[in-house]
């Protein structure tokens, strides 16, 4: 069953906090450890325990590196190099956001029956390497994890790589992660992916993230909070950011990348049922509790469906350029893109570009339009809409499987075969488009009568 995850990031978010919260929600620890034990990566162990944060019981997920990797600011290292002074960011300070050191005094040991340490790999003789996206893909592909979990992990690392690419003006494939930071970051990212897949998470809601203020020290000197990688991710993904009064870094690049890669909405329903709550602990003590609260939610009355329509008049772009822009906008997540021929001032023929997108994608769409066309301005209109209840499903036909969109109105179902499936079955059978379309619809109607849809 599809599940909706709501992440409440009042104390920021990091990779390890997210893993801990998902484990607290019920993600299978044995499945996670089986995947981690299959990683072609050495030099770490994992400890899962219960801790107290401001008196609140929470799950703690801790990646402990061997002596060749420990004693560094890991998330900062793989983004900015490992020569920086630790300053107030000892241990996993940057990666864990509010997490310097480990809260040993809060461990309960037998709380709810487990305080586990899982060792991985031989700690001797390990040497530092530099890993790029090619090596990261090989590590993920070499693990015993589902295809869906691999896709989630790929997407998270792609977000991180793209943020680094912008920060250093390098192609994505030339971005290298320092191993001293990549080991625990690889473990965190893969763990998030495995846990989300195991829980069956399909929708992720994150209204905004909360960040601290001040500065952190790295190899290149003192940099402001949010750090460049986080700022790049937030800007590119249209994530709402609120700066709090807390001193220090609450959001790590890995935490921001998890949201950017998995979030499906920034709008909560007006009301909903909470099925389960999970709390993931940070490693640093601030004024607040320092936990990430994750909730599995369902039901409720949905908030009014709101979309944005972006419009721009263009009279000096070639047809090839406009076609390229359309494809780029759709690949970036636009709900729809179309052109309408118009006559502009001085009787010049032109085109009205219209883009339909979600609120969180507005910034990304506008950036593409400004970068790829000659327009000087974009009109932005917020619009409410009414949509039919719908879902996607896969059905079996005599010619093979087909993807179908199922809509409901007045208690009845309507079936709309997906274009790609129709074309594929046309190629397999040699039949016409209309024949295949009708065959898929009839198969759906039969399945519906039998209670299979």
Tell me the mean pLDDT in the region 227-256. Answer: 91
Residue 378, phi-psi category: left (phi > 0), alpha (psi -120 to 50), beta (remainder): beta
Expressed as residue numbers, the domain containing 380 is 306-384
Final residue in a domain of this structure, among 278, 298, 318:
298
For residues 103 and 164, membership in a common domain is answered with yes
- Cα distances (Å, whole numbers) of residue 107 to 63, 93, 314: 15, 19, 62
Tell me the mean pLDDT in the region 258-265. Answer: 94
Tell which wins on pLDDT, 2 or 109. Answer: 2
The answer on pLDDT for 376 being more than 80 is yes
R_g of the chain computed on alpha carbons:
24
Q: What does the pLDDT read at residue 130?
A: 59
SS3 450: coil
d(CA 408, CA 389): 5
CB 263 within 8 A of CB 204: yes
Tell me the mean pLDDT in the region 342-361. Answer: 92
For residues 39 and 81, membership in a common domain is answered with yes
Final residue in a domain of this structure, among 384, 404, 419:
384
The answer on pLDDT for 286 being more than 50 is yes
CB 413 within 8 A of CB 406: yes
Tell me the mean pLDDT in the region 361-385. Answer: 93
pLDDT category, 122, cuts 50, 70, 90?
very low
The answer on pLDDT for 185 being more than 90 is no
Tell me the mean pLDDT in the region 343-354. Answer: 92
Q: Is residue 159 exposed (0-12), middle (13-18) or buried (19+ Cβ within 10 Å)?
A: buried
pLDDT category, 448, cuts 50, 70, 90?
confident
- Cβ neighbours for 202, distance < 8 A, ≥ 6 positions apart: 2, 3, 4, 264
For residues 323 and 411, membership in a common domain is answered with no
- Cβ neighbours for 324, distance < 8 A, ≥ 6 positions apart: 372
Ranges of beta strands (E only) in 157-290 are 176-178, 201-205, 209-213, 215-218, 221-224, 241-247, 273-281
The answer on pLDDT for 294 being more than 70 is yes
For residues 134 and 197, membership in a common domain is answered with yes
The answer on pLDDT for 190 being more than 60 is yes
For residues 144 and 40, membership in a common domain is answered with yes
Work out how many domains the chain is built from and give that number: 3
Q: What does the pLDDT read at residue 83?
A: 38
For residues 369 and 395, membership in a common domain is answered with no
For residues 410 and 323, membership in a common domain is answered with no
CB 310 within 8 A of CB 359: no
For residues 269 and 324, membership in a common domain is answered with no
Q: What does the pLDDT read at residue 389?
A: 82
For residues 251 and 329, membership in a common domain is answered with no
Final residue in a domain of this structure, among 364, 384, 404:
384
The answer on pLDDT for 165 being more than 80 is no
Tell me the mean pLDDT in the region 72-96. Answer: 38
The CATH number assigned to the domain holding 347 equals: 3.30.70.1380
Q: What does the pLDDT read at residue 111?
A: 38
For residues 291 and 322, membership in a common domain is answered with no
Q: What does the pLDDT read at residue 95?
A: 39
Among 112-126, 163-177, 387-401, 408-422, which stretch is predicted with the lowest mean pLDDT? 112-126
pLDDT category, 128, cuts 50, 70, 90?
very low
For residues 187 and 55, membership in a common domain is answered with yes
Tell me the mean pLDDT in the region 275-286. Answer: 88
For residues 277 and 175, membership in a common domain is answered with yes
CB 13 within 8 A of CB 98: no
């Amino acid at each position: 069953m599809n599940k909706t995850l709501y992440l409440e990031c009042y104390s920021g978010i990091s990779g390890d906090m997210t893993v801990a919260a998902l484990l607290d929600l019920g993600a299978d620890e044995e499945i996670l450890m089986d995947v981690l034990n299959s990683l072609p990566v050495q030099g770490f162990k994992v400890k899962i325990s219960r801790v107290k944060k401001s008196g609140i019981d929470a799950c703690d997920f801790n990646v402990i590196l061997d002596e060749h990797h420990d004693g560094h600011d890991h998330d900062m290292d793989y983004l900015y190099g490992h020569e920086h002074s630790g300053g107030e960011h000892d241990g996993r300070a940057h990666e864990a956001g509010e997490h310097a050191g480990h809260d040993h005094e809060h461990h309960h040991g037998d709380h709810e029956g487990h305080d586990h340490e899982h060792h991985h790999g031989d700690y001797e003789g390990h040497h530092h390497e530099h890993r790029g996206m090619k090596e990261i893909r090989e590590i993920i592909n070499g693990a015993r994890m589902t295809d869906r979990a691999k896709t989630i992990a790929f997407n998270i690392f792609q977000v991180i790589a793209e943020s680094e690419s912008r920060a250093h003006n390098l192609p994505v494939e030339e971005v290298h992660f320092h191993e001293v930071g990549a080991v625990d970051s690889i473990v965190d990212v893969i763990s998030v992916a495995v846990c989300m897949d195991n829980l069956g998470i399909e929708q992720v809601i994150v209204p905004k993230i909360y960040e601290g203020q001040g500065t952190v020290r790295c190899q290149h000197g003192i940099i402001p909070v949010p750090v460049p990688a986080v700022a790049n991710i937030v800007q590119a993904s249209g994530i709402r950011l609120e700066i709090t009064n807390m001193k220090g870094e609450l959001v790590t690049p890995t935490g921001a990348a998890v949201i950017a890669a998995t979030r499906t909405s920034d709008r909560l329903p007006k009301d909903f049922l909470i099925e389960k709550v999970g709390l993931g602990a940070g490693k640093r003590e601030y004024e607040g509790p320092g936990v990430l609260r994750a909730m599995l939610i369902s039901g409720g009355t949905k908030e009014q469906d709101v979309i944005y329509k972006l419009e721009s008049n263009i009279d000096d772009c070639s047809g090839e350029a406009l076609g390229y822009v359309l494809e780029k906008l759709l690949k970036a997540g636009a709900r729809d893109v179309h052109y309408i021929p118009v006559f502009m001032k001085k009787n010049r023929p032109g085109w009205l570009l219209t883009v339909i997108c979600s609120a969180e994608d507005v910034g990304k769409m506008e950036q593409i339009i400004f970068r790829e066309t000659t327009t000087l301005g974009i009109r932005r209109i917020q619009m409410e809409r009414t949509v039919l209840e719908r879902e996607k499903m896969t059905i079996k036909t005599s010619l093979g499987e087909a993807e179908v969109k199922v809509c409901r109105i007045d208690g009845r179902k309507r079936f709309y075969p997906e274009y790609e499936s129709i074309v594929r079955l046309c190629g397999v059978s040699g039949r016409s488009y209309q024949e295949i379309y009708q065959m898929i619809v009839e198969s759906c109607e039969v399945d519906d009568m039998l209670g299979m849809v």
